[in-house]
Structures are given as structure tokens and as C-alpha cells.
Chain A
Amino acid sequence: MTTLDLTTTNPLPKAKSRFTLKTEAERFALVAAWLLLIAIFGFLMPDSFLSWRSFSTLFGSQAILVVLTLAIIIPLTSGDFDLSGASTLTMSCMLIAVLNVKLGWPIVPVIVVALASGIVIGAANAVFVLYFRIHSLIVTLGIGTFVNGLILWVSNSQTISGVSMDLVEWVIINRFLGIPLAFFYAMILAAIIWYALEYTIPGRKLLFVGRGREVSRLNGIDVDRVRATSFILSGLISAFAGVLYAGMTGSADPLSGLNLLLPAFAAAFLGATTISPGRFNAFGAVISVYFLVTGITGLTMLGADAYVQNLFYGGALVIAVSLSQLVRNRQPQDFS
């Protein structure tokens, strides 16, 4: 019965049997739009915008948003939301500051503790979602808010500066090809997630669970285990984003990291319209982050006011997703 319902309400996408201009255009439309943006700003500001310094800055500074987006697309792929991602990031960042600056711990064990905090938060999400059968939206919202309270408590509502320069050096000061190392960490992570989802059995299981839980269960997949793993991985990667955030700013404050949640979701959904349209995918997310940031950087360099950035960000998101829908003949989007 359930299987029948799923097939009628969620028709499987047509198999991509062969190369067609339309499908390829859909896959690479956002990449083309990104290149077009670069061309426009390059034409308007050939000296400043087209410099390598400008691109290395752009690539390096957005690595944290890329990593957080990669974290949340894992549960999104298995059909769950993780609204606690930004809180996990902030908690990890704050733990680094408190343990390293206030308590004087060396940076390596501090990073281990920060990453472990992400695993604990991810496991807590999994327990409440899977054992109590509560929707992930509610659980991760609640756990995220709880974590926000913990952050205020452990930090005493203070901003803490003076995080180990070793971490700062390995995040933004040391460079390869002129680009801060944080960018390469994000790219390696994106490649791992892409490979895992495309070519490994656990990765394919994650996709199947997202497409239809009952079908997956009837096919012998341990759905709960797959979903629990996705929450824990999301927590771990969000905590890694927190480590990079501490390295980027050299400090931690109880609130600012929380602002990355909505941009990360925007990038995840925009990324699902490109490279592998209709599916959350790692490089789609990477391209969407850099597409949006290129627009904002170019506009700011031209001297646009802060509100223009919001107009661009919101407008580009809705227009890009709408155009992608037109190409798909306005089929209902199924991101679960």
C-alpha cells in the first residue's frame, strides 16, 4: 500500500539515459550564471575584481559556509532537516576558545573535544528523532536552542579572543596557490561527500532512504541506522566548520555563528538545482555558495549599500530556483 502511495505521489525521475542539450543546460545553468557574473564584474572592474587576490579572498573567506552547507546536505539527502548545524558550529568554536584561551589547553586536544561535541549533538538529535519518532525539524530546532543556551553559559555571554595562532595559521594564513588552506579543506570534504554518495554502498543507501523510507526498509536497509549516521556526520562536519570559524576569526562569540544557518540552507537548496538537479549534492552546494558570494562581493566592490546585497541574495535564490523549474517543466520539487 505504502509503496503504491509513494509511486503515485512521488514519481521517480526519468532515468538519465542519454545526453540531451536540455539536461546538460539544466545541470550547468548555475555555473554559466556564475561565469556571467564574473564576466560582468570583470568588465566593470578589470583591475580590482579580476585580480588573483580578489579570487583567493573570495574562495578562502567562504570555506566555513561551504563546510556548514556540506554538513546539512547529508541529513537533507536522507530526508531529515538539521536546524542545529549552526549551533553545533558555534558550540565547537566556543569550546575551542574557552578551553584554549581561558583554560590554556593545547590546541590539538581542544580540536578533538570540539569535534566530539558535534558527534554528541548529532547523536542527541538522532536519539530524539528516531526513538521518539518526532519530526527532525522540531527536534533539531529544540536541541539547537538548548545548545545556544549552553554556549551562553560556558562563555558567560562574552566574546573570547586570542585563539592559538597555530590554528589561525593552518586555516587562513598558510596558503596554497595564494588561497588560504581553509578552501582546500572544504574542497576535499566536498569531494569525499560526492564520492561517497555516488560510488559507495552507504552513500547510495542514504539516497534510497531519502527517496522512500518504506521502500528502503522493505529492501532490507536499516533505515534508522542510516538516518542516525547522517545526523552524527552532520554534527561532526558542523563542528569541523566551528574549528575553521575559530581559526578564521581567532576568536569566538556566542551569537555570530548562528547567522550562518539560513545562508547554508539557501546554498543547499540552490545547489540542488545544479550538477545533479533535483538532488542535494556537494559540488552543487559549493557552486551555489560561490555564485551568491561572487554577486555580493562584486556589488560591494562597486559600492552598493547593504540592502542591495539582500536584494541580490534573496532575488538570485528565488529566480535561479524558478528558472530551474521552468527547464524541468514545472515538475513538483521533491527534495526529500
Chain B
Amino acid sequence: MRRILASSLLAAATLAVASMPAAADPMADARAIIAAHRAMPVFAPPGEPFDAKACMADKKVLSIPISMTIPFNVELQKAMASAAAEVGFTYTTWDNQLKIDQWVQGISQAISQKYDVVDLAGGLNPEVLGPQLSEARAAGLKISTTHFYDVTQPAIKSVDYSGKVDFTGAGKLLAAWAYEQTKGKPNVLIIGSSDVLPSIPFVKSIQDQLKTLCPDCKQKHLDVPVSEWATKIQSGTQSALLADPSINYILPIYDSMSQFVVPALRITGSEGAVKVASFNGTPFVLDMIRQGQVEMDIGESLGWAGYAAIDNIMRMLCGKPEVAKLNVPLLVFDKDNIKTAGVPANFNDGYGDAHLDGFRKLWMLK
């Protein structure tokens, strides 16, 4: 009886250890994650090749970005338009300035001008346009989103195809970076914005990965809505640093937050001791890496993103399966390779152009 009890206990203990999230060699795991995102991106086909020119002849796509006052959206639209021009179909960007009435007008225009697709791009949430999207669908249009959902999030029913982004992958990379840079002793302040839908799984992936690498390490989440970045990120970061002076890494999930984090570090006298790493590859933040104010930024080439988005939209019209995630590599920029991003930095340099040849072959253009 005692033996049975002992062996049961041993089995239970083994099971418990096996199910613990902590990795066997967390430092090696963290380094492996980082190494995978340091290499120059190579093109991996996101699906089977298809004759895009034939299937897209006479097709019309209208894309509504969340706002054309955001440089990210301008560059994404440029790349999408360039990909569409290569294939040879009508592609229109609905220029707007973050106004819901302009988005509604865009959808009405797509219906009345007999477009085939309405695409909501660069962060525009389809839920705010529910009735208009239903009307567009009833008129026979297909609906897509580009660069909005995380790969773990299902799209709402009024959307046919989604070009999803690997935010959770970026989250794991940020956590691994903080762990590796602090030699396995991170005390992290994560700055998120829960009002932006994909930031919820993004923040969670950082938290989970940190717990996996280091179950006992401290972490804190500062949640600031986008409209209050300018007034709350600096004060919130300052307060967090004052309340816990042992914080050694700050992870703002979107890199534009960094311009409010750096003053908080300066004013609390923490610059140098507390490092910053983030995600997006926005040029002014890449410049901040060159100037030594930010340690690392995960860049995503908007050239790749634009071509990958058009690929997914064409697959929707050509009856091919949806792509699981936008074929956009995440690349680590730090002091070692920051010059490859340009001086001053821009959205496209540093990623190579393997995507151009890759997509052309995939679409049977050559």
C-alpha cells in the first residue's frame, strides 16, 4: 500500500514538474528566440502559387486605412498600391483623417462604384462599421482586414479574410530580449493600450513568456488608452519607477510610446540604468536607437506587409484558402545593425527585398 502511495506521489510530482511552464534552460530558449529574428528575412511562400493576373483581371479593390495622417498607413498603402500595380488590377486608397463619417463614405463609394472588395487597413476595427459592412456584403462585395487582428484572434463574422499580424510572436521576442539583456533577472514594466484590440493578446504573450522564462521575476502592466498617451505614459512610467526603483526594463508595446518613456527615464535619473525595447520599427524610434535612447526595436517591413496583404486579398477573390498570418518577418534592430535602417531611418530599409521576387513567382508574374 505504502509502495503504491509512494509511486503515485512520485508520478504526481513528475507530472507536476513536467507541466510547469519554466523552461529547462531559459537563457538558451531566450537566445534562440532572439537569434531567429536577427537573420536577414528569407521569403517563405504563404500558400500555393496561383495565376494572379488571370484571376484579378477587371477586379477592383478599395482599401480604407484608419487614417492617412499616420505615416505607417501611408507607407503600407504605398506598398499595397505598388503590389496591385504589378498584378494589374484597380486599387484605390480611400484617403481620410480618422473620421468615422469618412470611413462610411468610403464603403458607400465602394458599393456605388461596383468594387469587388472593401479592405479595412492599418488598425481600423470592422466592429465600428457593422451596418455598412452588412450593406456592402448584401451588394456582393467581399470584406477583408489588413494588419489589425493578432494571429490568435478570430475575425468578426462580417469579415471574409483577415491579414493577421504575429503580435504574440513580437511579444515573446520582447520578453526574451528583456530576459537575456538583464542576464535572467528582468523586472519589467509593460506599457499597453487595451483599447486597441490586438494589444490584449500582445501584452498577454509578453506576460506569459516572462513567466515561462522566469516564474519568480517581477512584472507590471501600465495600461494607457491611445488618446491619453501624451498625458499619462510619462507620469505613469515615472510613478512606476519611483514606486519600484528595481525596475530594469521597460517594454512599451508600440514604439511611438517611447517618446514619452525616455523623458520619464531622464527626469527620474534612470536613463542608462533602465532600458527600453519595443515593436513597430517606426523611423523616429529607430533613430532613437542610433542615438542610444532606446535599446531595441522590432521592425516589420511595410514593403513586405503591403505585398502580403495584397496576396491575401487576391486569395480571397481567387477562391484560395486564407493565409494564417501576414507573411511579414519581424526583425531585431539594435545598435549592431541600426545603420542598415537608413540615416535617418525609414520604414523599408534593412529588411532586404526577398519579398519582391518571392511574391512575383508566387503570383506567376515571372
Contacts and interface: CB of A to CB of B under 8 A. Distances in A.
Given A172-B263, A249-B260, A250-B263, A300 B285 contact: no
Interface size class of A (residues with CB under 8 A): 35 or more
Contact of B235 (A49, A253, A260, A297): A297
A309 B267 CA distance: 21
A251 B232 contact: no
Nearest to B232: A306
A256 interface: yes
Given A259-B228, A306-B228, A250 B238 contact: no
A263 interface: yes
B225 interface: yes
A115 B219 CA distance: 43
Contacts of A159: 256, 259, 282, 284
Contacts, number: 111
Contacts of B268: 53, 57
Interface string A242-281: 0000001111011111111001000000000000000000
A180 B230 contact: no
B266 A152 contact: no
B283 to A, nearest CB: 7
Contacts of B291: 161-162
A256 B263 CA distance: 14
A60 B242 CA distance: 14
B69 interface: yes
Contact of A61 (B71, B238, B245, B284): B238
Interface residues of B, number: 43
B160 interface: no
Nearest to B239: A300
Given A248-B263, A250-B262, A255-B230, A160 B284 contact: yes
B69 A297 contact: no
A30 interface: no
A305 B285 contact: no
Contacts of A250: 259, 262-263, 293
Nearest to A179: B267
A45 B243 contact: yes
Contacts of B285: 161
Interface in B66-102: 69-71, 74
Contacts of A228: none
Most chain-B CB neighbours within 10 Å: which of A161, A301, A306? A161
Contacts of A296: 235
Contact of B71 (A54, A158, A259, A309): A158
B223 A161 contact: no
B229 interface: yes
Contacts of B224: 306
Contact of B242 (A51, A158, A172): A51
B288 interface: yes
Most chain-A CB neighbours within 10 Å: which of B224, B245, B266? B266
Interface in A207-260: 248-251, 253-260
B267 A60 contact: yes
A260 B283 CA distance: 25
Interface of B: 69-71, 74, 220, 223-225, 227-232, 234-236, 238-240, 242-245, 256, 259-260, 262-264, 266-269, 282-285, 287-288, 291, 293, 344
Closest 9 CB pairs of A and B: A256-B230, A300-B239, A301-B243, A259-B230, A161-B284, A159-B284, A301-B239, A54-B242, A251-B259
Given A57-B242, A256-B230, 7 more contacts: A152-B69, A158-B283, A159-B282, A260-B230, A301-B242, A303-B243, A306-B232
26 contacts: A45-B243, A53-B242, A54-B242, A61-B264, A61-B267, A159-B259, A160-B284, A161-B285, A161-B293, A173-B266, A180-B267, A248-B263, A250-B293, A251-B284, A253-B259, A254-B69, A256-B229, A256-B259, A256-B260, A259-B227, A259-B231, A260-B230, A296-B235, A297-B242, A300-B236, A301-B240
